[in-house]
Amino acid sequence: MEDKPITPSPNLPNSNAAPEEDKSLMHIWGGVPLQGQVNISGAKNSALVIMAGALLCPDDCRIQNVPSLVDVNRMGQILSALGVKVERKGDALHMNARHLHHSKAPYELVSQLRASFFVIGPLLARLGVARVPLPGGCAIGARPVDLHVRGLQAMGADVHIDHGTVHASVKGTNRRLQGARIYLDYPSVGATETLMMAATLADGETTIENAAQEPEVVDLANFCRAMGARIRGAGTNTIIISGVPRLHSTDYSIIPDRIEAGTFLVAGAITRSDLSLFPVVPDHLTAVIAKLRAIGLHITAETPNRLRITPGEHHIATDIETLPYPGFPTDMQAQFMALLTLSEGDSVITETVFENRLRHVAELNRMGADIRVKGNHAIIRGVPRLSGAPVVATDLRASAALVLAALAAEGKTTIQGLHHLDRGYEDLGGKLLKLGAKLQRVDDPEADAPVIQTVAPGQV
């Protein structure tokens, strides 16, 4: 009997489920066009750093439009371990860091969330001391933090690494960081954010040159300014921060997630559907929209914060090179690779940001794609069709690419390793079901979980 789609678990997956314990599966039956409008959640990469930024303030802060994600849960647990009050009320987090102390966050939590390293700047700025486990690498790369460390040292912090922990402290009577002129060898998003946060409470003026320009950096700057920080130039390659003695409460709402929006644009493209997305900030998607149009899709801004994608006649092979913003985002590379497997002709994708972010190639080839990897280049020869197959997700955006490929493939695909997906997408399965996708998420195949029958719109 054909499985019927069920609504995936409405509760957030267990944020502490270790990957090896992850038995969840997603079955997707491809070839079904999507339709309707999808709601885009708050930006994961804003939420995580802004949660750390709230440590700069010794009063109540409310952060709204926070997506319900495993990584956000984990960050909340880490901040609580540092003495911060974190309470979720709907899509808002109520935080208070008055009783912040620098005891090291539990390693077992930090090791599962690289973004936990963001606490080092605020801890140093608030307390003059910080002990933060060194974030490990991950599937996509070594993810060093040398640019963060060198910048903090330039601001007067004594930083050394001992037994996998970064020990940082500020000497001097008032134990305050000093403003400095910092040049980043690479426009690192994380290093820009760490140093910008640290500089908000430093003595004097800090200039960050060759700074990252991502929208999430601007979102963090706007959040800090809402707390009284003095920051100019966020969104350009030079950010100037004038330190102030103290920051105050604020109520702030996070920008929509441009990578989730880009992922749904590709979902519409690969299934040749007519989809609308809301809310979005089209300016945050300039490179993504330009590439979709080059491939042959039609994208229109129905209102200032609503985008619509409709299919074109042919999907044309297109080359892509990932670059720091405003270049093409590395976080959209895997998703576009899935789309280009079905485009006419040969496309070349060059990944310049991370050294190991082509691991989805093998799984896409198992679905009938024709992709060859040479160094940091993937040569994608378009094929007429993909075929469903059992596949395994290797990292967050790779898992999204497999979902997209499955939506277009002939037959059934089963994806393992959904813990990757749950880190960065709020209920992706549920949102796709609402658009008419034919899928079933099974969180624990062994359990005799009741099968909740629902019928997605357009399916009788």
Provide the annotated active-site residues. Answer: 138
As a whole number of angstroms, the distance between CA 435 and CA 35 comes to 5
Alpha-helical runs (H) found in 159-234:
189-199, 215-226
Q: Kindly tell me which of 268 and 424 has the beta carbon lying closer to ligand EPZ.
A: 424
CB atoms under 10 Å from CB of 458, counted, come to: 12
Q: Kindly tell me which of 403 and 409 has the beta carbon lying closer to ligand EPZ.
A: 403
Q: How far apart are CB 78 and ligand EPZ at their closest, in Å?
A: 13
Yes or no: say if 96 and 56 are a contact pair by the CB < 8 Å rule. Answer: no
Q: Kindly tell me which of 31 and 326 has the beta carbon lying closer to ligand EPZ.
A: 326
Q: How far apart are CB 329 and ligand EPZ at their closest, in Å?
A: 6
CA angle 327/409/321 to nearest 5° reads 15
As a whole number of angstroms, the distance between CA 177 and CA 152 comes to 8
Q: How far apart are CB 357 and ligand EPZ at their closest, in Å?
A: 8
Q: Kindly tell me which of 32 and 361 has the beta carbon lying closer to ligand EPZ.
A: 361
Yes or no: say if 60 and 87 are a contact pair by the CB < 8 Å rule. Answer: no
As a whole number of angstroms, the distance between CA 297 and CA 315 comes to 7
Q: How far apart are CB 405 and ligand EPZ at their closest, in Å?
A: 18
Q: At a CB cut-off of 8 Å and minimum separation 6, what does 79 contact?
A: 51, 52, 54, 55, 86, 95, 97, 119
What is the Cβ-side half-sphere exposure of residue 82, based on CA atoms within 13 angstroms? 37
C-alpha pair distances (Å), 327 with each of 225, 261, 284, 405: 26, 17, 11, 24
Alpha-helical runs (H) found in 374-439:
396-408, 418-424, 428-434
CB atoms under 10 Å from CB of 313, counted, come to: 6
Residue 121 phi/psi, 5-degree rounding, is -65, -55
Q: Which residues bind ligand EPZ (CB under 6 A)?
A: 44-45, 48, 115, 141, 143-148, 186, 188-191, 212, 214, 216, 330-331, 353-354, 396-397, 424
As a whole number of angstroms, the distance between CA 228 and CA 315 comes to 48
As a whole number of angstroms, the distance between CA 436 and CA 306 comes to 20
Q: How far apart are CB 420 and ligand EPZ at their closest, in Å?
A: 10
As a whole number of angstroms, the distance between CA 55 and CA 121 comes to 9
Q: Kindly tell me which of 152 and 201 has the beta carbon lying closer to ligand EPZ.
A: 152
Tokens for 397, please give them.
């955006």
The terminus-to-terminus CA distance of the chain in angstroms comes to: 16
As a whole number of angstroms, the distance between CA 450 and CA 137 comes to 38
Q: Dihedral angle at the C-alpha atoms of 344, 391, 400, 214, nearest 10 degrees?
A: -90
Yes or no: say if 259 and 281 are a contact pair by the CB < 8 Å rule. Answer: no
Q: How far apart are CB 115 and ligand EPZ at their closest, in Å?
A: 4
Q: Which residue is nearest to ligand EPZ (CB)?
A: 190
Q: Kindly tell me which of 82 and 189 has the beta carbon lying closer to ligand EPZ.
A: 189
As a whole number of angstroms, the distance between CA 420 and CA 397 comes to 8
Q: How far apart are CB 211 and ligand EPZ at their closest, in Å?
A: 11
Q: Kindly tell me which of 22 and 260 has the beta carbon lying closer to ligand EPZ.
A: 260
Q: How far apart are CB 436 and ligand EPZ at their closest, in Å?
A: 27
Q: Kindly tell me which of 30 and 151 has the beta carbon lying closer to ligand EPZ.
A: 151
